[in-house]
Amino acid sequence: MTDDVLIRTEGKVGRITLNRPQALHALNTGMCRAMTEALLGWKDDPAVELVLLDHSGERGFCAGGDIRMLADSGAGDGREACEFFFIEYRLNHLLFEYPKPVVTIMDGVTMGGGVGLAAPSRYRVATERTTYAMPETGIGLFPDVGGGWFLSRMPGHIGLWLALTGARVKAADCELIGMATDFIESSRIADFKAALIADPAAVETLLTQFEGDAGRPPLAQHQDEIDRLFGGESVEAILSALQAADTDWARDQLKVMATKSPQTLKVAYRQLKLGTEAKTFADNMVMEYRIGARVVRKHDFIEGVRAVIVDKDNAPKWSPATVSGVSEALLDEIFAPLPSAQEWSPLTGV
């Protein structure tokens, strides 16, 4: 176990609290191992009826994974990065298939690896402080932790828009896209947790009792535009449609996408296309592990982390520098099966 995540039972509730506030609760391998062990221990324990997943402090639920470690590992043999992905993806899959209700409190920043914990949970509670995003295109990674599955199943082409632009959305939009099942004001979250621990069987009733109004989703006014402009058969087609649209909103999307890794834009597009076709969540995670094992060692990820996280000059030099320069052969290499002994697999019996 690790102090970075607090694990205990309270009444009939198994409780997992992310406890790495100085890093916005970014996940590391030890945290993923500890959560997996706890969930496996509670899975068939009749004394545990429900799992509550939250965070300590006020700074947000989870900003993602330990990006610096991934980049350091990717600059070498990539072994530590692959170990992290392997264990994290098993945790994502375990949550997706978990037989007992999981309630995740997405109070504050919920990005990347944090989405990987929240999205598979049965109940996903947003507050007015929730900020959801999959920002990986900005650092040359890709929208993993099940992004191929969840993003591709959002209404219309919103998931692809989120993947390509890294756009940040708030609680009302989280409800619109299906990321949040419920909205509770942050001032009432402590009371909701206490009531849930007192009577976990009443989770549905309590969610109704504590439900607040997230307001109108700002994204709704752009849904038709997203569906029309992000429905192209390639990233190039989407960029052409945005240029032809010649609206303020379309121009804003072009400016944002121009800052992203061209390699990652094309990886994310293919990932979501294949994710749509995946028959099971496990099939999707096999695909994503193949991508992760490869892109973590490629130039764009190392350079993206340097520019955004280490040097903070926000001036990455992508290679290839343009979308047209990213060949189908490069994508085929990134998505190709790994040697059988290196492929990802779910936990036995899950």
Please, which pLDDT band fits residue 215 given cuts at 50, 70 and 90? very high
The pLDDT of residue 122 is: 98
pLDDT score recorded for residue 49: 98
Rounded to 5°, the CA angle 230-165-273 comes to: 50
Region 98-118: mean pLDDT is: 97
Mean pLDDT of 16-34: 96
Burial of residue 184 (CB within 10 Å: 0-12, 13-18, 19+) is buried
Q: What is the pLDDT of residue 302?
A: 96
* Whole-Å CA distances, 136 to 206, 296, 301, 304: 35, 12, 9, 9
pLDDT-derived band at 210 (thresholds 50, 70, 90) equals very high
Least confident among 186-190, 268-272, 305-309:
305-309
Tell me, yes or no, if 136 is annotated catalytic: yes
CA triple 303-306-308, angle to 5 deg = 105
Annotated catalytic residue, options 60, 64, 65, 159 = 65
Domain boundaries, the chain: 5-340
Cα–Cα distance measured from residue 262 to residue 269, given in angstroms and rounded to the nearest whole number = 11
- The residue annotated as part of the active site, out of 60, 64, 108, 113, is 113
pLDDT of residue 204: 98
Give me the percent of the chain exceeding a pLDDT of 70. Answer: 99
pLDDT for 177 beyond 80: yes
Our answer to whether residue 333 is catalytic in this structure is no
Annotated catalytic residue within 136, 173, 300, 303: 136
Please tell me which residue in 88, 144, 173, 182 is annotated as part of the active site.
144
The backbone torsions φ and ψ at residue 23, rounded to the nearest 5 degrees and listed phi first, read -115, 25
Categorize the per-residue pLDDT at 290 as very low, low, confident or very high, splitting at 50, 70 and 90. Answer: very high
Instruction: Judge whether residue 146 has pLDDT over 80.
Output: yes
- 67 Cβ partners below 8 Å, 6+ apart? 26, 139, 141, 305, 309
**Average model confidence (pLDDT) across the chain:** 96
pLDDT at position 70 is 93
Identify the pLDDT of residue 286.
Answer: 98
CATH domain 5-340 topology? 2-enoyl-CoA Hydratase; Chain A, domain 1 (3.90.226)
Q: Residue 2's pLDDT is what? A: 64
Q: What is the mean pLDDT of residues 58-82?
A: 93
Any catalytic annotation for residue 60? Answer: no
Burial category of 329 from C-beta neighbours within 10 Å (exposed 0-12, middle 13-18, buried 19 and up)? exposed
Bridge partners, 124 (sequence order): 104
Residue 49 a catalytic site member: no
Q: Which of 60, 56, 66 is nearest to 16 (CA)?
A: 56
Range list of H helices, the chain: 29-43, 67-74, 79-97, 113-118, 147-150, 158-165, 171-176, 189-198, 203-210, 223-229, 235-245, 248-258, 262-277, 281-295, 299-305, 328-335
Checking if the pLDDT of 1 tops 80, the result is: no
Measured CA to CA, the distance from residue 229 to residue 226 in angstroms comes to 5
Compute the distance between CA of residue 213 and CA of residue 322 in angstroms, rounded to an integer.
43
Q: What integer pLDDT is reported at residue 246 of this predicted model?
A: 87
**CA gap 211, 206 in Å, rounded:** 8
